[in-house]
Structure 1
Amino acid sequence: MANKFSCRQIKVLPFLLCLITVTFSCSFLNIVDAQSPKLINSIATIIEDMQPPHEEMPRGVPKSYDWAIKPRVGSKNPKKFKAMTAWGQLYEAVQGNPATNTRVQIKNIKAYYLSKSDGKWYLLQSSTKVEGKAYKEDFSGDMNKTADIRYESDGSVTAKAGNSYNFHFWPANGRATINSDDVRGMFTTVQARLIIDNPKKDDDRSQARYLLSMGGDYWLDLDAKWDNWTTNEDFGIGKFKYVTTEWQAFNMITLPQGQIRENPPPIE
Structure 2
Amino acid sequence: MLPWLAVLPMASGPLNSLRTLLEDMTLPHEAKLSGVPDSYNWAARPRVGMGLQPGRFRAFIPWGQVYLERGTLPAANTRVQLRGLRAYLLSKRTGEWSLVSAGEIEGAAYREDFAEDANKPADVRPEPEGGVSVRLERGFNFHFWTKAGRVEIHPEDLAGVFVTVQARLVPADPSKPDDRDRARYLLGVGADYWLALDSEWDNFKTNGDVAIGRMKRVTKQWRAFNMAVPLDAVRRTPPPLE
Paired position in structure 2 for 1:199: 174
Listed one character per residue, the Cα deviations across residues 156-196 of structure 1 (whole Å, up to 9, x for unaligned) are: 11002232100000011111111111111111110100000
Deviation of the 1:98 alpha carbon:
5.2
Q: Which segment drifts farther, 113-122 or 236-245?
A: 113-122
The residue type equivalent to 1:182 in the other structure is D
Paired position in structure 2 for 1:121: 97
Q: Distance in 2 between matches of 1:265 and 1:120?
A: 8
Q: Which has the larger radius of gyration?
A: 1
More helix by share: 1
Paired position in structure 1 for 2:121: 146
- Structure 1 runs of 4+ aligned residues shifted over 3 Å read none
The residue type equivalent to 1:79 in the other structure is G
Paired position in structure 1 for 2:75: 99
TM-score of the superposed pair, with normalisation by structure 2: 0.91
Paired position in structure 2 for 1:108: 84
Q: Distance in 2 between matches of 1:155 and 1:246?
A: 15
Listed one character per residue, the Cα deviations across residues 186-208 of structure 1 (whole Å, up to 9, x for unaligned) are: 11110100000111110011111
Which structure 2 residues correspond to residues 125-136 of structure 1 after superposition, within 5 A? 125-127=101-103, 129-136=104-111
TM-score of the superposed pair, with normalisation by structure 1: 0.83
Matched residue SS, 2:168: strand
Paired position in structure 2 for 1:266: 240
Out of 15, 34, 40, the residue aligned to residue 59 of structure 1 is 34
The residue type equivalent to 2:133 in the other structure is T
Matched residue SS, 1:46: helix
Q: Distance in 2 between matches of 1:92 and 1:197?
A: 17
Residues 73 and 138 in structure 2, CA contact (< 8 A), matched pair in contact too: no
The residue type equivalent to 1:157 in the other structure is V
Q: Distance in 2 between matches of 1:55 and 1:47?
A: 15
Q: In the alignment, is residue 216 of structure 1 matched against residue 199 of structure 2?
A: no
Listed one character per residue, the Cα deviations across residues 133-171 of structure 1 (whole Å, up to 9, x for unaligned) are: 000000001100000111223441100223210000001
Matched residue SS, 1:56: coil
Tell me the C-alpha RMSD between the 2 structures: 1.2
Paired position in structure 2 for 1:87: 63
Structure 2: where are the runs of 5+ without partners? 1-12
The residue type equivalent to 1:145 in the other structure is K
Q: Which segment drifts farther, 184-193 or 152-161?
A: 152-161
Structure 1: where are the runs of 5+ without partners? 1-37
Paired position in structure 1 for 2:158: 183
Q: Distance in 1 between matches of 2:219 and 2:129?
A: 19
More strand by share: 2
